[in-house]
Amino acid sequence: RKEVEQDPGPFNVPEGATVAFNCTYSNSASQSFFWYRQDCRKEPKLLMSVYSSGNEDGRFTAQLNRASQYISLLIRDSKLSDSATYLCVVNTGRRALTFGSGTRLQVQP
Amino acid sequence: SAVISQKPSRDICQRGTSLTIQCQVDSQVTMMFWYRQQPGQSLTLIATANQGSEATYESGFVIDKFPISRPNLTFSTLTVSNMSPEDSSIYLCSVDPQGRGSYGYTFGSGTRLTVV
């Protein structure tokens, strides 16, 4: 079983749509959680950290459910510029990050 | 957050040769991490580079194939040795600027390696 699992997609959505990505992790001792965004041929960039209380940054909302070992990302009012691969990332306490395989989002006009 | 300069950005190499990738950070960091991203795949950790000690390698990666140097707290190199076409990947370095593991990590822009 992979340490971090994501639906690879692609998710094809129209502009303005709301889209949600889910992720599960296997190590219950995991300590920190993130969503990264990776554009084609670019390095991953931090989108947001994920906390148990949930956090919101503009159109983006992230949630963490430790009991279910489940992380989500919600994007509201999708823009064309949101098209990218979204990586679910976990820090298991080893200091290095463990990456999911990524979920590809394509926002269409 | 830290700024990382990674070189080269891309290279095409002959099989059997070696390539050294450099990462320079604009601040001192305890650990630097080296990842590989194979075509269409996510990132896989190769090793963790610590200043003043040997790098720690992940399962499936060995020092003879991927020697790492970490001469100071702002610089590291990864060498891909005796390359084969299977080594064609993007190689990325990363740092934890806060040193706590709880905040976002920063990545270099990557080295796109093609072995022919």
Note the pLDDT tens digit of each residue in A46-74: 999 998 888 999 999 999 999 999 999 99
- Using 50, 70 and 90 to split pLDDT, how confident is the model at A37? very high
Sign of CA dihedral B60, B62, B67, B69: positive
Q: Do B48 and A46 touch (CB under 8 A)?
A: no
Q: Which residues of A touch B45 (CB under 8 A)?
A: 96-98
Q: Judge whether residue B99 has pLDDT over 70.
A: no
Pick the closest to residue B108 from B12, B38, B24 (CA basis): B24
Nearest by CB to A32, which of B92, B102, B109?
B102
Q: Which residues of B touch A42 (CB under 8 A)?
A: 109-110
Q: Which residues of B touch A49 (CB under 8 A)?
A: 102-104
Question: What's residue B30's pLDDT?
Answer: 87
Phi then psi for residue B57, to 5 deg, are: -100, 145
Q: Judge whether residue B105 has pLDDT over 90.
A: no
Which two tokens mark A84? 């990218």
Q: Judge whether residue B98 has pLDDT over 80.
A: no
Which of A2, A5, A37, A43 best tests the B interface by mutation, with the highest count of B CBs <10 A?
A: A43
* Average pLDDT of chain B to the nearest whole number: 92
Distance of CA B61 to the CA centre of its chain: 12
Q: What is the largest CA-CA distance in chain B?
A: 40
B101 contacts: CB under 8 Å, gap ≥ 6: A31, A32, A91, A93, A95
Q: Is A1 on the interface with B (CB under 8 A)?
A: no
